[in-house]
Amino acid sequence: MHRLLIVDDEEIITDSLYEVFSRLMPERLDVCKAYSADEALLWLSRSRIDIVLTDIRMPGKSGLELTEHIQAYWPRCRIIFLTGYSEFDYVYQAIQMPDARYLLKTEGYDKVTETVRTVLREIEESNRMSELVRQTDRQRYAIEAMAQADYFRHMLQEGVAAVNGETGVLAQEFRALNVALDPEHPVVLVLAHYGYPQGAGYSRRSELLRSSRLLWHSYLAERLRSLGIVDKHGDLLWFLQPSEQAGAAFSGHMIRYLEGTLELIQESCLETLGLTMSITVGGAPCRWEDVASQYARLRQLQQLRIGDGLSVILTDAGAEQPASDKGEDDRIAQKAEILAAHLEGDRREKFIECFGELSRRMLLPGANVQAAVEAYYAVALALLSFINRWNLQGQIGEYGKIMRLDEHESMKEGYRYLSEVAERIFDIKRPDETERAARAIERICRYINEHLSEDLSLVRLAEINHFNPTYLSRFFKQEKGVNLSEYIDQCRMRRAMELLKDGEIKVREVSAAVGYEAAHSFTRFFKKATGMTPQEYRDTIPIG
């Protein structure tokens, strides 16, 4: 899915264009709007933008000044200037910009939509052409990558000091292995876990992995120096630094740039290779001495989120996720003791209830990683102790991974594994997980209904639910049978009708309560859905 940002200081124009494009191709185009260049910059800092449709002359920053920031944030972004002015100097400056178009407002909606459709086709064609470049680099890239991968895997296992010994050896090794990274500057780590097509064997998986690495490289090369390796778990780990061409200001925007670019990589891998992936991003650059510990943290974070069958991009919040405090440690220890008591007392329903409460808290989005790991091992130890004391080793089947969390695909899989061991002990069925998708959608729908007056853009909903925006759009349509934007409109309409029944509430207050800052936009929305203005609808309601 591509993302269009509409920017104009005239609200009626911005709102009208937003309504047109929101309904034009909801499966292919996510639409955002801003009433000033400064507001547009907030969108550009939050999410990848593929097309900007902007007024060329606005108070404060002009559309031309805005493009300088656009090109710094998202160099692949296409720009369409829309204005009521036709002065030569503005036109001349606009047509000098690469990948930019210039339209007069008098040309009408048909011309604007036709231009956006054309730009979308150009973006998709450009993505297809890049595949030819990837093929030419394949053989050289594969040979060089083997030696680099061995070296970096050893570094992850032993640490920089153990591998390189004396200071300065790191730079020598990088030169010898032709590693295009700077040993004197920090590095950002990105860890990707693939979901391969069902039935894919070893050779097919290897082929898909090689192709995907070339695809990653083609996207990252525009602003970054990169090196990607396959770790011992079969996941893809990238080491990233800003390139010399990126500019000094890019470092502060690098993580946001990565999130947007990784979304493109996710889409391309899915569309061209049939690969889904969950990605975890280091929230800040780390020193080379800390690479091994940062990698271990990313693996733990990844284990918390993968295993849902959902394509996510999770950024390490770093300091926002402190180590568990003494109170949390005590609560985990207490829970483990209670679970052990339920095992001893053969209280299986109580065990299931208590373990379910613990695992749900540990696996919530934003949960503390260290606490989740500690809770896992506390429960695992209780189960293992019970198995050994009652000599159940030959009766409950495989339980060899019970004390090896890192061998589980995800933290969720690890907790599920503990549940399965417990189930075999109590001789009960495995919990039914078919409601997982329904619970995720229910959580999103509940948030929408409770926050109708707030930002309900696809980008915002994806942020708070840790989804890839494109995947969220498809996932919601698949589960609910309607587009996310349609569902939000339905919720707003129901709420508006309820509020309009109260004659004391003014129409503009109803408008604000359902997320419309401009009353005229709400009126158009309401009339299009019902055939009546809000006031006309209110007049049809019987008094008393």
Residue type, 264: L
The reported pLDDT for the residue numbered 513 is: 94
- For 143-208, strand residue ranges (E) read 188-195
User: Residue 311 above 50 pLDDT?
Assistant: yes
- Of 55-64, 159-168, 340-349, highest mean pLDDT: 55-64
pLDDT per residue over 162-198, tens digit each?
A: 666 555 688 888 888 888 899 989 999 999 988 888 8
Band of the pLDDT at 341, cuts 50, 70, 90?
confident
More confident residue, 365 or 271: 271
- Kindly give, in sequence order, each residue whose CB lies less than 8 Å from that of residue 28, ignoring residues fewer than 6 positions away: 1, 2, 120
The reported pLDDT for the residue numbered 131 is: 57
pLDDT per residue over 342-388, tens digit each?
A: 787 677 888 889 999 898 888 876 677 778 888 888 898 888 877 77
Locate 460 and state its tokens. 């915002």
More confident residue, 165 or 14: 14
- Closest residue by Cα to residue 73 from 113, 44, 94, 110: 44
User: Residue 512 above 90 pLDDT?
Assistant: yes
The Cα 32–Cα 7 span in angstroms is 9
User: Residue 432 above 50 pLDDT?
Assistant: no
The pairing of strands 236-242 and 224-230 is antiparallel
The Cα 303–Cα 401 span in angstroms is 15
Locate 266 and state its tokens. 């996710």
Q: Please tell me the number of Cα atoms within 13 Å of 241 on its side-chain side.
A: 16
- Closest residue by Cα to residue 482 from 27, 59, 2, 114: 27
- Closest residue by Cα to residue 80 from 63, 101, 110, 108: 101
User: Residue 78 above 80 pLDDT?
Assistant: yes
* Number of residues that this document lists for the chain: 544
More confident residue, 138 or 470: 470
The Cα 453–Cα 517 span in angstroms is 9
| pTM attached to this predicted model | 0.52
pLDDT per residue over 191-235, tens digit each?
A: 998 888 888 888 898 889 888 988 888 888 888 998 988 888 888
Band of the pLDDT at 327, cuts 50, 70, 90?
low
Locate 392 and state its tokens. 């159940």
User: Residue 503 above 90 pLDDT?
Assistant: no
User: Residue 339 above 60 pLDDT?
Assistant: yes
The reported pLDDT for the residue numbered 57 is: 82
The Cα 47–Cα 50 span in angstroms is 10
- For 255-318, strand residue ranges (E) read 276-281, 313-315
What domains, with CATH codes, occur in the chain? 2-124 (3.40.50.2300), 159-313 (3.30.70.270), 326-426 (no CATH), 436-539 (1.10.10.60)
